[in-house]
Structure 1
Amino acid sequence: MSNIYQHFRADEKEFIDQVLNWQEYVEDSYAPKLTDFLDPRQIHIIKSIIGTHSQVKYLEFGGYEGAERKRVLLFPDYLVPEIKDFQISILEIDYPSKFITLSHRHVLGSLMSIGLKREKFGDILIQQDRIQFIIPTEMLHYIQMELKQIGKTTIQLKEVAYHELITADEEWKEQSVTVSSLRLDAILSTVFPLSRQKAQTMIQHKLVKVNWKEVEQVSFVCEEGDVISVRGFGRCKIITMDGQTKKEKWRLIVGLLK
């Protein structure tokens, strides 16, 4: 069992244990297990643990192709799941868009202000003045009852079908960089227009996330596949690590999303 943990970071142990419990539940009960909305790092952990040869299989779905946050369905290998098994609904926000501008941050804050943890809803989608967000069907009635305004703006919610979903494809711009070390502050100061000191300050002020979790250690060591977001500057991911140079610097291929 300990061999599993060595492949992941120490702070991921709790989630790994949860995945193992889900796997055991499906194996023992011969029944499917549907998760909340998970981030890509958590989904990667599930894939790594379940593997391709287990009696337990998995599928992921977040409402549309390319969704960032998705529900994962773990199920016995003899079942054939359908889209409806993911129990996903889509809500669109009706608000006075001619007079008010709402952002992703406003919607996120309002959803969490009614008691929802981040894993209880999926992606928030904005296309010009249209805003939609994806939720578990079991939370539909609660959210419709509780979410009446965003900030000081009164809103109405309407459920929409999958074919009405607005989507925006993410475009990652790849580039090759050389960094002095794999420390978080070193990578930030190379990839983004930040000094090393500014990068350290932003990390210490909880403005930086790695794999959707706040990181406050400037010496945090990054790994291949990590997604790093910096408030106000955008997001990057470490696509590949191409080894070290003769001067012991690291060559990385990173993707930039702004």
Structure 2
Amino acid sequence: MKHWIDRCVLGFWQDKEMRLEAAHLLDLADAVLEEQLPLRTPFLGLGLAQWFEGVLQKESLSYQIQGGFPDSERVCYFLSKNSDDFEQVREGIALLTVVSLDPHVDLEHRQILGSLMGLGLKRELIGDIHPEIQGMIVAVVSEIADYLLQEWRKAGRANIRVERVHGELHLSEDPGEELRITVASSRIDAIVASSFKAARGVVQEWINQGKVKRNDLMISRADLEVKSGDIISCRGQGRLRLLDDSETRKGRIAWTIIIYRTQKR
């Protein structure tokens, strides 16, 4: 296949695995340019999505973004040379509702995601996982929906019922808690430590264990600088969104954040 898009943009990614994912996205974009057919990407986390959108804006490709929910954090890009073709890919995402058959067992995010991965599914096929009034709602690529409706029967130790979502969504959204924290610097370890009231040494261990992500990308450096709009998640603790920052009279940095104690993705 001809490379329509300059592969030099892959130099942005230092991590080999992320570079491979990014190269796959460029292959999809090249296929659209070459074959003039609309295509859909897998679900992308915020960091990869922001990079890919920057690439698309430099090319003559139309795109739409969908994740299945009004405020999706994991999204798919629908690509086309002609914006009129988007009707062909509009049904590329399916929403499934998952309900525990045991009224005394509440489903959790980790049970849902773990059971899906246990079925051999890649993370890129799965979007956001939202709590619902009676269970959970999961966004998936449409081609695996029928398989899940037939084969997905357990999440953790809970027996489950899986159905397609019909009609209006009834999400039980965690509104989060708005807080103001002050830190000596905007390093990610300082932000996480202050937000989750943990020692910096503990946060370093979380980072070493691969528990901390910024914009859905795992981080390896405690001194990584953050910016407004970043979403930081810490497995087992929750996630937070950085809103804005300002300098205090004592030269420290005050951040306004929204912290979510429940895991969303």
TM-score (norm 1): 0.82
Structure 1 range deviating more: 207-216 or 24-33: 207-216
CA contact (8 A) 1:34 1:86 kept: no
Q: Can you give the 5+ residue segments of structure 1 that lack an aligned partner in the other structure?
A: none
Residue in 2 aligned with 1:34?
Answer: 40
In 1: Cα distance, 2:20 partner to 2:110 partner: 28
CA contact (8 A) 2:187 2:225 kept: yes
Q: How does 1:1-258 map to 2 (within 5 A)?
A: 1=6, 4=9, 8=12, 10-11=14-15, 12-51=18-57, 54-82=59-87, 85-161=90-166, 163-169=167-173, 171=175, 173-240=177-244, 249-250=252-253, 252-258=255-261
Change (3 A) 1:18 1:225: farther
SS in 2 for 1:115: coil
Q: Residue type of the partner of 1:49?
A: V
CA contact (8 A) 1:56 1:74 kept: yes
SS in 2 for 1:82: helix
Task: Please provide the CA RMSD for this pair.
Answer: 2.9
Q: Residue type of the partner of 2:97?
A: E
In 2: Cα distance, 1:178 partner to 1:104 partner: 30
TM-score (norm 2): 0.80
SS in 2 for 1:43: helix
Q: CA deviation at 1:45?
A: 1.6
Change (3 A) 1:82 1:65: farther
In 2: Cα distance, 1:64 partner to 1:42 partner: 19
Q: CA deviation at 1:57?
A: 1.0
Change (3 A) 1:158 1:241: same
> How many aligned positions are there?
254
CA contact (8 A) 1:58 1:75 kept: yes
CA contact (8 A) 1:97 1:129 kept: no
In 1: Cα distance, 2:96 partner to 2:82 partner: 32
Change (3 A) 1:60 1:172: same
CA contact (8 A) 2:100 2:106 kept: no
Change (3 A) 1:144 1:127: closer
Q: CA deviation at 1:238?
A: 2.9
SS in 1 for 2:42: strand
Q: Residue type of the partner of 1:72?
A: Y
Could you report, residue by residue, the CA deviation over 1:175-228 in whole angstroms, capped at 9, with x for unpaired residues?
Answer: 554432333212212333122222223222333222223334333343443311
CA contact (8 A) 1:124 1:132 kept: yes
Change (3 A) 1:170 1:80: farther
In 2: Cα distance, 1:230 partner to 1:9 partner: 22
CA contact (8 A) 1:236 1:255 kept: yes
CA contact (8 A) 1:60 1:70 kept: yes
SS in 1 for 2:240: strand
Change (3 A) 1:106 1:65: same
Could you report, residue by residue, the CA deviation over 1:70-105 in whole angstroms, capped at 9, with x for unpaired residues?
Answer: 221011135242385242222222432422222111
Change (3 A) 1:189 1:246: same
In 2: Cα distance, 1:223 partner to 1:79 partner: 36
